A and B are shown apart, each in its own frame.
Chain A
Amino acid sequence: MARTVWGSTVGKKTVMAVSGLIMLLYLVVHMIGNLKIFFGAGEFNHYAHWLRTLGEPFMHYEWTLWLVRVVLVIAVVAHAVSAYQLSRRDIRARPSKYVHSKPRASYATRTMRWGGIILGLFIVWHILDLTTGTVHSGFQPGHPYQNVVDTFSTWYGNVIYIVAMLALGLHVRHGFWSAAQTLGVGSRARDRALKTVANVLALLLTAGFIAVPVGVMTGVVS
């Protein structure tokens, strides 16, 4: 079965749909967690610490967090590898362009590949910035509130983050609806509902994430 799925374009799209939905679910949780920054350093830092103690005493300190990280890494890699292989195939399948060509599909659809690459690079930067602190001068482990405020006090921190979140909105807008089609749950009767959910998810995620840098820039969070 695994060979049938991985060997087929339809199967690889299924891998993309499932891994995409896993990441989407994580993003919703992540976005809601981020909003705690508006309730002060105490609540935000406490929440960040709680994430490490999640599942105790059954799970050891940070086990749950690492489990989530492993699942996410698998999802990201599966999503990216399928996307790369399918894109290569698509480009090969249409080697010559039309002399008379016009862009037609929606902006969100046309930007899936570049948007995906932007998001991939952003994830790397984001982890180096706020998880490991490698690219973050003055990073204080265990003080996420201060680190977030630091990052969004720089112009490049804001620009990178906001551009990536706009790309995320576009990606989710086409991606969620597409995943439904790939998994065969779309239908004429459900199409409007699915498109609405895709748009609402895209909008809420983008707005929810961007609220944090905007909060820091406007001084609501400091």
Chain B
Amino acid sequence: MKLTLRVWRQKNAGAEGAMSTYEVDDISPDMSFLEMLDVLNEQLILSGEDPVAFDHDCREGICGACSLVINGDAHGPERTTTCQLHMRSFKDGDTIDIEPWRASAFPVVKDLVVDRSSFDRIIQAGGYITAPTGSAPEAHATPVPKPDADFAFEHAECIGCGACVAACPNGAAMLFTSAKINHLNVLPQGAPERETRVLDMVAQMDEEGFGGCTLAGECATACPKGIPLMSITSMNKEWLRATRRASKR
């Protein structure tokens, strides 16, 4: 396949960026999108140019490192992560626009790499359970009803890639935050910190400068892990419950 790539190039956080056009040839439809970018970078290095910086790690669709807005879609046209997107989703001769996640809480570091440490700070605000660590406890020591376990698993699938923020017209992190809150709040292990978790994580989310939710639904459409939009509804319910309870104390 022969492709024209229009890639966002930005030297560093402070520099002005712009789209640059590159041609790549001999792309196999079986290559992943990132392998295609590897080909582009080899080409750039050989010609003495600066390679395009992009985030990637596991390349198995489970780590949440890869990003990229491809032709206006977070993670591209298929409902998966960029590393699991293959070139067969494109046609020979296509022009592909590649941009970084756009949100003021995700500043561009270089080219297509953005700083997602705002997500880490949301997790630090309450996305954990306070328990002594050590060997894994006996699995049946704490019974969990099946529907609750399913609900927790559905939300635990979130890999924190940030596609929800990138897709949201308001740059909101509601889907990420709600997935993390719901995952723990429904489980008995998360119960002792149920109220502080939701209040603190939502407060941190606001503190980071993410936008608010207008229920446009773009986040859930972009999410490679299929976190449902209703996740936000559940978080709102938890937040209202915690706010009412906090006012009684």
Contact = CB atoms under 8 A, between A and B. Distances in A.
Contact of A4 (B199, B216, B221): B199
B228 A94 contact: no
A100 to B, nearest CB: 4
Interface in A86-121: 86, 89-102, 104-105, 109-110, 112
B207 to A, nearest CB: 10
Contact of B212 (A12, A95, A104, A184): A12
A146 to B, nearest CB: 42
Contact of B216 (A14, A86, A109): A109
B129 interface: no
Contact of B104 (A94, A100, A183): A94
Classify the secondary structure of A's interface with B: helix
A17 to B, nearest CB: 9
Interface in B59-78: 69, 71-72
B110 interface: no
- Interface range on chain A (Cβ under 8 Å from partner): 35 or more
A110 B244 CA distance: 32
A179 to B, nearest CB: 10
B236 A98 contact: no
Interface string B214-230: 11111001000000111
Interface in A113-132: none
A21 B168 CA distance: 25
B72 A4 contact: no
A206 interface: no
A14 B215 contact: no
Interface in A4-54: 4-5, 7-14
A184 B237 contact: yes
A90 B170 contact: yes
Interface in B190-249: 199, 202-203, 205-206, 209-218, 221, 228-230, 232-241, 243-244, 246-247
Given A14-B240, A98-B72, A109 B214 contact: yes
Contacts of B111: none
Given A1-B246, A94-B169, A99-B19, A9 B212 contact: yes
B119 to A, nearest CB: 14
Contacts of B217: 105, 109
A12 B213 CA distance: 10
A93 B237 contact: no
A177 interface: yes
A10 B239 contact: yes
Given A90-B171, A181-B215, A182-B213, 8 more contacts: A12-B212, A86-B212, A90-B169, A90-B170, A92-B104, A112-B214, A174-B215, A181-B232
Interface of A: 1, 4-5, 7-14, 86, 89-102, 104-105, 109-110, 112, 174, 177-178, 180-188, 191
